[in-house]
Amino acid sequence: GEDVEQSLFLSVREGDSSVINCTYTDSSSTYLYWYKQEPGAGLQLLTYIFSNMDMKQDQRLTVLLNKKDKHLSLRIADTQTGDSAIYFCAEIGVNRDDKIIFGKGTRLHILP
Amino acid sequence: DTAVSQTPKYLVTQMGNDKSIKCEQNLGHDTMYWYKQDSKKFLKIMFSYNNKELIINETVPNRFSPKSPDKAHLNLHINSLELGDSAVYFCASSQGLAGEQYFGPGTRLTVT
């Protein structure tokens, strides 16, 4: 099975909250990331969380980590048209020689 | 079949040497990228190539040069390797700059 899984598509109305979910399998994960793919600019780091944390908030972004269930989520409050992008979940773990492992990306579509 | 492959997976070399990392994608994509996983374990884009034209060149030393012999390949050449070049390098590809990116397995470069 996939090491990092995410749903491929999410549609949200402008102004609502978006929640993008991710599951991973590596119990040795140390860092977990959310990257945003900007056309023409590649992947840009959006936020990250250490595996010993449960939650991290940064302005409109909230990252929740359930280490027991190996579940990571990204909540974007007050979703705006500029949030339309592909979001990649990624993790790094000592069992994987410290290489970042990516999910396939979730395409977030904003409805008017 | 592997969608995006990189060779070698591991490369150990001495300072001052010149080396190349190869990347091939069999997805028919027209855009390819190189990323560096830096010492802080974050991913940073180095280059992207679209239809054999360099689209992005971040603040990367000119010792690094991408070379694309055809649409399916984007190789990374590094001249006069330095200790600070030690990192994991990822190749990726997408269809267009807005298409979701598919990542290779990464190449761990160690410069001694």
pLDDT at A109 over 50: yes
pLDDT at A2 over 60: no
pLDDT score, position A1: 44
What is the SS3 assignment for B27?
A: coil
Smallest Cβ distance to B106: which of A41, A88, A99? Answer: A99
Burial B44-67 (b: 16+ CB within 10 A, else e): bbbbbbbeeeeebeeebeeebbbe
Q: Among A39-43, A67-71, A100-104, B12-16, which stretch is predicted with the lowest mean pLDDT? A: A39-43
Q: Answer yes or no: do B41 and A31 touch at CB < 8 A.
A: yes
Interface test with B, best of A99, A102, A107, A109 (most B CBs within 10 A): A99
Average pLDDT over residues B96-106: 89
Q: How confident is the model at residue B90 (pLDDT cuts 50, 70, 90)?
A: very high
Q: How confident is the model at residue A25 (pLDDT cuts 50, 70, 90)?
A: confident
pLDDT at B33 over 90: yes
For chain B, the residues whose C-beta falls within 8 A of a C-beta of chain A are: 33, 35, 37, 41-43, 45, 48, 55-56, 88, 90, 96-98, 100-103, 105-106, 108
Q: How confident is the model at residue B38 (pLDDT cuts 50, 70, 90)?
A: confident
pLDDT score, position B1: 64
* For A30, nearest residue in chain B (alpha carbons): B41
pLDDT tens figures, A40-65: 678 889 999 998 899 999 999 999 99
What is the SS3 assignment for A81?
A: helix
- Residue B108 with chain A: CB contacts under 8 Å: 97, 99
CB pairs under 8 A between A and B: 55
Please state, in angstroms and rounded to a whole number, the distance separating the CA atoms of residues B105 and B67. 19
Query: For residue B14, how far is the Cα from the chain centroid?
Result: 19
- Mean pLDDT of all residues belonging to chain A: 90
CA angle B57–A47–A13, rounded 5-degree value: 100
Closest chain A C-alpha to B42 CA, distance in angstroms: 8
pLDDT score, position A98: 78
Give backbone dihedrals phi and psi of B50, rounded to 5 degrees, phi first: -130, 115
CA-based nearest residue to A89, from A7, A2, A3, A4: A4
Smallest Cβ distance to B55: which of A40, A44, A86? Answer: A40
